[in-house]
């Protein structure tokens, strides 16, 4: 690795003989979930960096086929799309019925790509292995943040009441007030529009008033358990790569002719996280 | 007015004899637009404080019935829902074909309710007559900001190419990079879910590939031109009221049992702007 990335600034120093590592990484099928709807496949990348116990529990639930034929039963406008049943309506397999919350974790040892701009909610924001995240030097804690498309674990009033049997995806403006109050387990990397374009529920909190309005989940599967020919091969731009730093800078200061006043800044939830279909050709962009 | 509101803090000093003014205001029918869809009514409050020329032009277009039978032709996930035709497919009436952009305006003379917390994009944020806004003491300028549900005027690369014949509403995380680059003319105060739950267009930029996918706009009307019995009487909480300051504080520090770590801060686009059906009873909450 001969490229040095400083926040918002890329200093490349690659000798002609050196081969640059690809800035793209293949999503790990062991930490990728497919939610199959009639309308298509929703793909979720799990975040064991932040919630190892919940990620393991969700994979156990998925492998027990807990979510198969479960429903999307809540769509609250500009908040969350939610599915599953916290009352354990399906088979649990090896999964636990409740887990202590994984709201924050030690920042020490966690590679963190810092954004240069201030944030209303956190002392520092940036990215950890593709996930939008925050960090507080005063407490030494880090946490994933509630941006559009992030997936979390429903819980009751008690912090240890969540299990992963009920999940939500953020479908509107980032509800950052939820940060550090609930366990985030990943993000939707493909198919978010299938969750965000559902009719809103008219009951309290966006719950549907009639079960006939629910969207049926045909099944959820760990990608590693799906035959390779049926997988969706995706790559994500590494958030610790010089190419990602260039991407962030291009979004901080939009240079397209249309823009007249580049913002000069960017908030963590406004950085699109590049995902692409894996091609046979290695990209050396 | 015997109540003094300081940022995040309310000092009430009302003598028993004094009658407190209502913190609720009735939306002005002259600056309220109804967009009638088969699915229901979308209600937009216009912001002449920020874009007097565009607001006047849009009202002229509406009164010429320009938008009647026009289409919602673009829904880009986590960005905008857009309608109308910049090529002037309908009758223009008194409306102009192009107007200079109204991207910012002098802050002087504009009552501004300041939020206490920092913002990534602007030196100061807060509210102006119900609209989320920003202000820069260094330039003396103020502007409306791109929060969820805000409505703006499509334009080409030239800053004076917009007219109001093509409008958009923000349907996802606040695209604050658009601030000061495009004219905002108001916000959706009811029915935003009818625009946010539409299927996403699969063409570039979220445009639908086939006109058969468009949503037809039955008509757009200025509320003042609609018979009173057919209007939707709405009230908004005054953003310069002590009650609104309390509302902001309750959102900065959520005290519900569910919350374990109140954020202690709030970003301008995370403050819900209270709207209610007008009742016969005056509220003295």
Rg of chain A taking only CA atoms, in angstroms: 19
Q: How many residue contacts between A and B have a Cβ separation below 8 Å?
A: 120
β-pair partners for A281: none
State how far residue A156 is from chain B, nearest Cα, in angstroms.
7
Nearest CA-CA partner of B236 in B5, B23, B40: B23
Question: What is the ipTM metric for this complex?
Answer: 0.91
A261 phi, psi to nearest 5 deg: -130, 90
Residue B35 DSSP SS3:
strand
**Ranges of chain A whose pLDDT falls below 70:** 1-19, 280-285
Residue B194 DSSP SS3:
helix
Q: For residue A175, what are the contacts with CB-CB under 8 A and spacing of at least 6?
A: A79, A80, A146, B270
Residue-by-residue DSSP string for B112-163? -EE-SS--SS-SEEEEETTEEEEEETTTTEEEE---TTEEEE---SSTT-B-
Residue contact A180–B270, C-beta within 8 A? no
**pLDDT of B175-229, one tens digit each?**
999 999 999 999 999 999 999 999 999 999 999 999 999 999 999 999 999 999 9
β-pair partners for A106: A141
Q: What confidence score (pLDDT) does residue B88 get?
A: 79
Q: What confidence score (pLDDT) does residue A88 get?
A: 79
Nearest CA-CA partner of B131 in B148, B118, B154: B148
Q: Which two tokens mark A78? A: 């500009």
CB atoms within 10 A of CB A122: 21
Q: What confidence score (pLDDT) does residue A246 get?
A: 98
Q: What confidence score (pLDDT) does residue A280 get?
A: 54
pTM above threshold 0.90: yes
State how far residue B119 is from chain A, nearest Cα, in angstroms.
5
Q: What confidence score (pLDDT) does residue B114 get?
A: 98
Task: Compare CB distances from A173 to B174, B254, B263 and report the shortest one's residue.
Answer: B174
CB atoms within 10 A of CB B236: 19
State how far residue B137 is from chain A, nearest Cα, in angstroms.
17
Please give the C-alpha separations between residue A64 and each of A48, A88, A94, A96, in angstroms, as whole numbers: 19, 12, 8, 12
B chain contacts of residue A254, beta-carbon cutoff 8 Å: 177
Nearest CA-CA partner of B54 in B84, B15, B26, B77: B84
Nearest-angstrom CA–CA distance, B276 and B272: 12
**Residues of A within an 8 Å Cβ radius of B:** 75, 77-78, 103, 117-121, 147-149, 156-157, 159, 172-177, 179-181, 192-193, 196-200, 251, 254, 257-263, 265-267, 269-270
Task: Compare CB distances from B120 to A118, A177, A181 and report the shortest one's residue.
Answer: A118
- Asked if residue A48 lies in contact with residue A59, where contact means CB atoms within 8 angstroms, the answer is no
Q: What confidence score (pLDDT) does residue A72 get?
A: 98
Residue contact A177–B263, C-beta within 8 A? yes
Task: Compare CB distances from B254 to A117, A177, A200 and report the shortest one's residue.
Answer: A177
Element (H, E) at A60: helix A52-63
Q: What confidence score (pLDDT) does residue A18 get?
A: 61
Q: What confidence score (pLDDT) does residue A241 get?
A: 98
**Ranges of chain B whose pLDDT falls below 50:** 1-16, 281-285
Q: What confidence score (pLDDT) does residue B3 get?
A: 32
Task: Compare CB distances from A177 to B147, B149, B270 and report the shortest one's residue.
Answer: B270
**pLDDT of A15-73, one tens digit each?**
445 667 899 999 999 999 999 999 999 999 999 999 999 999 999 999 999 999 999 99
């Amino acid at each position: 690795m001969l490229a040095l990335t400083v926040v918002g600034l890329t200093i490349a120093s690659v000798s002609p003989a050196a081969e640059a590592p690809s800035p793209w990484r293949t999503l790990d099928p062991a930490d990728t979930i497919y939610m199959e709807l009639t309308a298509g496949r929703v793909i979720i990348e799990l975040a064991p960096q932040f919630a190892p116990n919940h990620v393991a529990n969700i994979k156990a639930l998925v492998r027990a086929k807990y979510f198969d034929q479960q429903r999307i039963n809540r769509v609250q406008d500009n908040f969350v799309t939610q599915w599953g049943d916290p009352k354990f309506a399906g088979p649990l397999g090896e999964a636990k019925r409740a887990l202590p919350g994984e709201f924050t974790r030690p920042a020490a040892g966690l590679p963190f790509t810092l954004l240069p701009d201030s944030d209303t909610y956190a002392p520092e924001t940036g990215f950890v292995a593709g996930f939008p995240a925050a960090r507080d030097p005063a407490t030494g804690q880090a946490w994933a943040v509630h941006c559009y498309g992030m997936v979390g674990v429903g819980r009751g009033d008690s912090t240890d009441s969540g299990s992963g049997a009920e999940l939500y995806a953020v479908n509107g403006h980032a509800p950052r007030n939820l940060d550090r109050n609930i366990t985030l387990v990943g993000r939707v990397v493909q198919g978010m529009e299938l969750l965000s374009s559902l009719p809103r529920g008219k009951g309290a909190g966006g719950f549907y008033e009639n079960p006939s309005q629910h969207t049926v989940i045909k099944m959820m599967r760990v990608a590693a358990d799906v035959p390779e020919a049926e997988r969706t091969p995706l790559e994500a731009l590494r958030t610790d790569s010089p190419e990602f730093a260039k991407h962030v800078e291009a979004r901080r200061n939009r240079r397209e002719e249309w823009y007249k006043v580049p913002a000069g800044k960017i908030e963590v939830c406004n950085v699109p996280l590049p995902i692409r279909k894996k091609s046979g050709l290695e990209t050396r962009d």
